[in-house]
Amino acid sequence: METAELTQEELFQQRIDADQRIEPKDWMPDAYRKTLIRQISQHAHSEIVGMLPEGNWITRAPSLKRKSILLAKVQDEAGHGLYLYSAAETLGASRDQMLADLHAGKAKYSSIFNYPTLSWADIGCVGWLVDGAAILNQVPLCRTSFGPYARAMVRVCKEESFHQRQGFEIMQTLCEGAPEQKAMAQEALNRWWWPTLMMFGPKDDESPNTARSMQWRIKRFTNDELRQKFVDMMVPQAEFLGLTVPDLALQWNETKQGYDFGEVNWEEFWQVVNGNGLCNHDRLQARVDAWEEGAWVREAALAHAEKRRQRQEPIHKSGPTRKAELPQD
Kindly identify the residues of this chain, within the stretch 273-302, that bind another protein according to CB under 8 A.
Answer: 286, 289-290, 293-302
CB of 244 to another protein, least distance (A): 22
| Residues of this chain, 2-31, that bind another protein according to CB under 8 A | 23, 25-27
**Please, which residue, 58 or 157, has the CB nearer to another protein?**
58
**Please, which residue, 257 or 318, has the CB nearer to another protein?**
318
| Residues of this chain, 157-196, that bind another protein according to CB under 8 A | 159, 170, 173, 177-178, 180-181
CB of 230 to another protein, least distance (A): 26
Which class for 318: exposed (0-12), middle (13-18), buried (19 or more C-beta within 10 A)?
A: exposed
**How far is 277 from 248, CA to CA, in rounded Å?**
25
The β-bridge partners of 252 are 259
| Residues of this chain, 80-119, that bind another protein according to CB under 8 A | 81-83, 85-86, 89, 94-97, 100
Backbone angles phi, psi at 301, to 5 degrees: -65, -40
Question: How many residues does the structure list for the chain?
Answer: 329
**Please, which residue, 226 or 243, has the CB nearer to another protein?**
243
Which class for 21: exposed (0-12), middle (13-18), buried (19 or more C-beta within 10 A)?
A: middle
Which ranges in the chain belong to alpha helices (H)?
Answer: 8-17, 30-49, 51-55, 64-89, 95-103, 120-125, 131-138, 147-175, 179-198, 210-215, 223-241, 266-271, 280-293, 295-311
**Please, which residue, 177 or 236, has the CB nearer to another protein?**
177
Half-sphere exposure (Cβ direction) of 16: Cα atoms closer than 13 Å = 24
**Please, which residue, 155 or 203, has the CB nearer to another protein?**
155
- Considering only 79, 105, 242, 275, the residue that binds another protein (CB under 8 A) is 79
**Please, which residue, 83 or 230, has the CB nearer to another protein?**
83
- Asked if 323 interacts with another protein (CB under 8 A), we say no
Half-sphere exposure (Cβ direction) of 228: Cα atoms closer than 13 Å = 14
Which class for 134: exposed (0-12), middle (13-18), buried (19 or more C-beta within 10 A)?
A: buried
Among the listed ranges 147-155, 187-195, 258-266, 268-276, the one in contact with another protein (CB under 8 A) is 147-155
Query: Going residue by residue from 215 to 254, which x/- string records binding to another protein, judged by CB under 8 A?
Result: ----------------------------------------
The β-bridge partners of 259 are 252
Residues in the interface with another protein (CB under 8 A) total 79
Query: Going residue by residue from 32 to 71, which x/- string records binding to another protein, judged by CB under 8 A?
Result: ----------------x--xx--x--xxxxxxxxxxx--x
**Please, which residue, 62 or 105, has the CB nearer to another protein?**
62
- Let me know: does 245 contact 189? Beta carbons within 8 Å: yes
**How far is 329 from 326, CA to CA, in rounded Å?**
9
